[in-house]
Amino acid sequence: MSHVRIFDTTLRDGEQSPGFSMNTEEKIRMAHQLAALGVDIIEAGFPIASKGDLEAVLAVAKEVREVPIAALARARKDDILAAAEALKPAKSPRMHVFLATSDLHLQAKLHMTREQALEAIGSMVKLARNLVAEVEFSAEDAGRTEIEFLCQACQIAVDAGATVLNLPDTVGYAVPEEYAEMFLKVREHLGDPEHIILSAHCHDDLGLAVANSLAAVRAGVRQIECTVNGIGERAGNAALEEVAVALAVRKESFGIATKLKLNELYKSSRLLTQITGAQVAPNKAVVGANAFAHEAGIHQDGIIKNPLTYEIISPEAVGVPSRSLVLGKHSGRHALRLSLTELGYDPNDAELAECYRRVTTLADQSKQVRARDLMTIAHEVMRRKAVPVASEAAPAV
């Protein structure tokens, strides 16, 4: 397979976490941006969860035609019917059916035996396949499922018509070697059929979601489920921008990358923060305000001489505004306000005064204040303000 598919679940697993829920209009706006980013599939919601979510999935399926749309369903008839209804307008629909397979989940949560679980997987994947052309099966808590039983469950899902098999580390418990090993064993059990795509879905409880997803790619996984800014249940999901940039920057090591337009990453991150009001941490990889800011004198000196000294990713490549601002100690407050407005900020007089003080201090030290330095300053001074999407077009990678 030529590339690693990006299954974006910002609008489902992402919005499922406290403080991140989105209404229909917001989901549509975000879905259009995800399409511009070039994701391979958008999971738009969990239609049985609420009437609002069913309507949101319907609306996204109607409005966003250029990307396949997925909807989530438990392995239950009502869920599957609701998801099928929501997916009706989609040009390329995918039903995402899941059932937990770990003994812990089966016994404590579902009160099901393994035999009952296998029966439900077979019959519900078959039902979904009769309603929608493409079916993905997820073995929830696969990371803590006994491997022989997991292989059995996967075989039954494939026999019932699933063509994508997702093996989530639902609770973020796995470590990279272990997670990769699980995929190798399942692949071997299935006989590595060409038409089956294996998929990784990792949570970040131990801060390993991206590392685990990348390890899965080395084990033959060709779909990664992830979210913009890494939002999602508890500590979140694998961050889409980190997965994509890691695969791109280390392409010689992985031998495969995504098809994303990386210069849309920053804009996607900003749109999400604008919609949800939740800012990313300044030190967040790829899209954080400090990701391309250099404060230490030695680093600044290196960057001026050759950016490769301290930057493995160019800010332009991921769409971070990098235009050199001619902001220096001679610049006035008017130019500063204009530059801040261009970056999407709307400072009051006190904030402007504080930004001015910091800009002139920095200008004294390094002569030039670039857009990304200004963004760091603006973020620190106005951290509680939602930041609108940067409209600047970025050059291609």
Which residues lie near ligand KIV (CB under 6 A)? 13, 98, 138, 140, 166, 168, 170, 201, 203
Length of the chain, please?
397
Residue 138 binding result from ligand KIV, Zn ion, none, given CB thresholds of 5 to 8 Å by partner type: ligand KIV
Encoding tokens for residue 10? Answer: 């910002």
Q: Kindly tell me the sign of the dihedral angle through the C-alpha atoms of 228, 234, 235, 237.
A: negative
Integer Cα distance of 33 and 240 in angstroms: 14
Integer Cα distance of 361 and 229 in angstroms: 31
Residue 322 binding result from Zn ion, ligand KIV, none, given CB thresholds of 5 to 8 Å by partner type: none
- Whose Cβ is closer to Zn ion: residue 13's or residue 15's? 13
Contact with Zn ion (CB under 5 A): which of 6, 7, 12, 13? Answer: 13
Among the candidate windows 10-18, 52-60, 209-217, 376-384, which touches Zn ion by CB under 5 A?
Answer: 10-18
Find the shortest distance in angstroms from Cβ 72 to ligand KIV. Answer: 6
Identity of the residue numbered 369? V
- Whose Cβ is closer to ligand KIV: residue 203's or residue 267's? 203
Residue 373 binding result from ligand KIV, Zn ion, none, given CB thresholds of 5 to 8 Å by partner type: none
Integer Cα distance of 121 and 115 in angstroms: 10
| Three-state secondary structure call for residue 254 | helix
- Residue nearest to Zn ion according to CB distances in the complex: 13
Find the shortest distance in angstroms from Cβ 43 to ligand KIV. Answer: 9
- Confirm or reject binding of residue 169 to Zn ion (CB under 5 A): no
Residue with tokens 């438990």: 74
Find the shortest distance in angstroms from Cβ 302 to ligand KIV. Answer: 41
Residue 98 binding result from ligand KIV, Zn ion, none, given CB thresholds of 5 to 8 Å by partner type: ligand KIV
Find the shortest distance in angstroms from Cβ 13 to Zn ion. Answer: 4
Encoding tokens for residue 8? Answer: 């974006």
DSSP 89-104: T-SSEEEEEEEE-SHH
Q: Kindly tell me the sign of the dihedral angle through the C-alpha atoms of 224, 171, 207, 49.
A: positive
Which 8-state DSSP code applies to residue 194?
T
Find the shortest distance in angstroms from Cβ 169 to Zn ion. Answer: 9
Find the shortest distance in angstroms from Cβ 203 to ligand KIV. Answer: 6
| Three-state secondary structure call for residue 22 | coil
Site residues, Zn ion (CB under 5 A): 13
